[in-house]
Amino acid sequence: MNEIDKSRRIEFTILKVDSIPCSLNGQKAIFTYDGNKVSDPWVLKWPMPWVDRELKKITQKYDFVSKKEKRRIYNPDEPDQWIQVLIRSYIDLTVPELIDSTAKRYPEKEALVNSTGSRRLKYKDFVKSANDLAKGLIYIGVEKDEKVAVWAVNSPEVAICEFGVSKAAGIFVPMNAYEKQINMEKLLEQSDIHTLIMQTGTKGTENIELLYKICPELCESGPGMLNSKKFPKLKNVIIISGEEYPGTYMWSEVLAQGEKSSDEILAQRQGQINIDDVAQIIHTSGSTGTPKGVMLSHSNIIENAKAMSDLMELSEKDIMCVQAPIFHCFGSIACVMAAVVGGCSMVMVNRFKTKITLSLIEKERCTVLSSVPALFISCLKDIQNEYYDISSLRTGIIAGASCLPEVIEDIKNMLGMEDLILSYGLTEASPCVTATKCYSEFEENTVGKPIPGVKVKTIDLNTKEDLPQGQNGEILVRGYNVMNGYYKMQDETDNAIDREGWFHTGDIGCLTEEGYLMIRGRCKDIIIRCGENISSNEIEGFLSTHKDVEEVHVVGIPEASSGEEIVAFIKPKGNIKLTEKQIRDYCRGKIATNKVPRYIKFVEEFQLSDTGKVLKKDLKKKALSIFGHNAAKVQVLENNL
């Protein structure tokens, strides 16, 4: 039994009894998986040893996965006696305890390597830095459950933040390193950020300049003394830099202060953390265009990371190339957290550049690479033009967008990844829902079977009734992996998670007779470009602010390398003649680069339905006919167009 499985517990709560001479309702008993009772003994008027015996039998045969179920248990000697119980199995481990455990097992194992290879931290250094950061955050006023945002590209510092913030009992809130003004203002305010840890920029100092622009009070305040009208809860800004900036702390000084602080303070703070507490808030775009903060608990995260680690068969012998951005759920949990579960080394890739990725794999002899199809397709192209020794690669996860079977086969033949895992997931599901080993269990055009502890079904879009296998409907997910909810968005949470605990994904698909899930499309108006969810409504809302734009509608079309590309249909005001360059110049610096439309088409009028609505299905067909020369071969549901 591995270290995480040793931390598993099974909790029995008695709901109802029959023919038993005393009340047991509400009593709880907690067991380890080897049958040891770790909760306090019950105080009963009459001895009933059969209850503990039967509960112990269940624990010794129970599935090694977090789940809940109800079960009736009978007294084998007197069958008229029974108890009905709620069984909850879980991993009794928090994110801070996970890194502590791994560092204790592999103190001398290399844990983190930066993108140039110039900085290398062993697990003992990794956990010390996380401890120092946590104590430093506590020193500057971070309390339990306060939000600490991290605005940076992949680096050892971001991984340290992921665990250090949790150790301070704060909530880790990763933000898109390339985010621009409009969304950053929304995110800082909406997420109640208390402390912001950031790089000065991805190319230079553009991010700190943007922060000074949206929060001018920072320039005039001392470190930790920010008083902003727009962001009243934001108190601290920490810069991952060797240079000083007005109103901010330097990364090194926060860690130095933490090193001076007592370990007892950290132990007390970690002791306040419960596995059901929110550990991370990761933002995802919804159909409304407003970013939603997905709240994920320690329990959500660790069980899902364990599932991914087990599928890839990760161990301390592996070296993971962390190319997926840590500001996404895929990078944060399926990569970094899964690597720590397995005791892997992590090599941080700080840019979505194929040549950088391939060079690092060759140099560091990486064995694991997980990313979106666009990255793998680019790798396939580049290795045909330039030689890289990537023979060390063996496994990884491909997810975030649909992928053609021939691409899967090319990854095996050309990249040598014999143990590739194809997965489907969502931020709201921590993220993995289904998975399959591409070459031993793969069924063409599917994304695998539900992982242990997760259930999937489809429902009719109109009647909401469950559908049989083979029929397309909305995909619903239930299990330990479903989020706690959207931060400060109770109505959206209630709409997404029904009373029975099913999360409504907004994706269209069906289950095969063998239990594999097929993805057919989306009922949400979301474009997935290079693995990132992009709201067409958000882009429409922004472009509508241009003084010469009367109306705009945005659709996505399939594209071979990126998965989908953005097409904007724009109706200018009056007789004004707009150009594509004018629209792109207007976007620059105001919305994220990946949200700028790849294709722009100016129109005089939009065709309307009988009810006066723009027919987006017709716009999508029109976009395909005009710009679809790079389109990937996809299947499109008629009722989803």
Delimiting residues of CATH 2.30.38.10 domain(s) in the chain: 453-520
Both tokens of residue 249?
Answer: 């702390």
CA torsion sign for 529, 531, 535, 539 is negative
Q: What are the distances in angstroms from CA 233 to CA 188, 189, 236, 346, 489?
A: 9, 8, 9, 34, 18
Gap between the Cα atoms of 484 and 498, Å rounded: 13
Quick one: 43 exposed, middle or buried, by C-beta within 10 A (0-12, 13-18, 19+)? Answer: exposed
Gap between the Cα atoms of 632 and 12, Å rounded: 51
**DSSP line for 495-514:** HHB-TTS-EEEEEEEEE-TT
Q: What is the pLDDT of residue 611?
A: 42
CATH homologous superfamily of 95-437: ANL, N-terminal domain (3.40.50.12780)
Delimiting residues of CATH 3.40.50.12780 domain(s) in the chain: 95-437
Gap between the Cα atoms of 11 and 26, Å rounded: 12
Cross-strand bridge partners of residue 283: 293
Kindly give the parts of the chain with pLDDT less than 70.
285-289, 401-402, 442, 521, 524-525, 608-613, 629-641
Gap between the Cα atoms of 64 and 9, Å rounded: 10
CATH label, 453-520, candidates 3.40.50.970, 2.30.38.10, 3.30.497.10, 1.10.10.60: 2.30.38.10
Residue 596 and residue 530 in contact, taking contact as beta carbons nearer than 8 Å: no
Q: What is the pLDDT of residue 373?
A: 86
Q: What is the pLDDT of residue 629?
A: 65
What residues have CB less than 8 Å from 186, skipping those under 6 apart?
A: 290, 291
Indicate the residue type of 75.
N
Q: Which helix (H) or strand (E) holds 618?
A: helix 616-627
Strands 171-175 and 147-151: parallel
pTM for the structure as a whole = 0.86
Residue 182's nearest CA partner among 329, 296, 285 is 285
> CB count, 10 Å around CB of 52?
16
Q: CATH for 526-640?
A: 3.30.300.30
